[in-house]
């Protein structure tokens, strides 16, 4: 059941959704699909890293490193093995930006959801 809070500037009542465990599920957001190795700038301003979905698994050495930065260095948020399919939820506030460094002998296909 959606929870309703204040009106937006157009007078609409936005809804908040919750998942089956009752946790707040944020709607909206942007995404970037990555299927090549290297450094990928996701967001160059502060934002929220919502989730990473591994659509197609890579080799056993494949991984994605996520940084709170505009390049692949600085504050490491997480290192995720991409050798198996799945989704990792974060909802982590990134104060600088979001960058992913994707590696592996066979790179996984991943989708990064962010705001």
Per-residue confidence at 1, pLDDT binned at 50, 70, 90?
A: very low
Q: Tell me the average pLDDT across 75-88.
A: 97
Q: What is the pLDDT of residue 80?
A: 97
Q: What is the pLDDT of residue 75?
A: 97
Per-residue confidence at 16, pLDDT binned at 50, 70, 90?
A: low
Q: Domains of the chain (ranges plus CATH)?
A: 28-114 (2.60.120.340)
Reduced DSSP (H G I as helix, E B as strand, rest coil) percent helix, strand, coil of the chain, to 5: 0, 55, 45
pLDDT tens-digit series, residues 20-78: 666 666 556 799 999 999 999 999 999 999 999 999 999 999 999 999 999 999 999 99
Pair of tokens at residue 53: 């979905």
Nearest to 31 by CA among 101, 94, 114, 110: 114
Helix (H) and strand (E) counts for the chain?
A: 0, 11
């Amino acid at each position: 059941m959606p929870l309703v809070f204040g009106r937006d500037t157009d007078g609409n009542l936005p809804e908040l959704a919750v998942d089956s465990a009752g946790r707040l599920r944020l709607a909206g957001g942007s995404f970037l699909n990555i299927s090549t190795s290297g450094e990928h700038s996701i967001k160059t301003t502060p934002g929220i890293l919502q989730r990473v979905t591994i659509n197609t698994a890579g080799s056993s050495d494949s991984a994605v490193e996520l940084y709170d930065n505009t390049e692949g260095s600085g504050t490491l948020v997480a290192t995720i093995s991409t050798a198996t399919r799945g989704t990792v939820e974060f909802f982590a506030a990134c104060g600088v930006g979001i960058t992913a460094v994707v590696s592996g002998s066979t790179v996984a296909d991943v989708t990064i959801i962010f705001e």
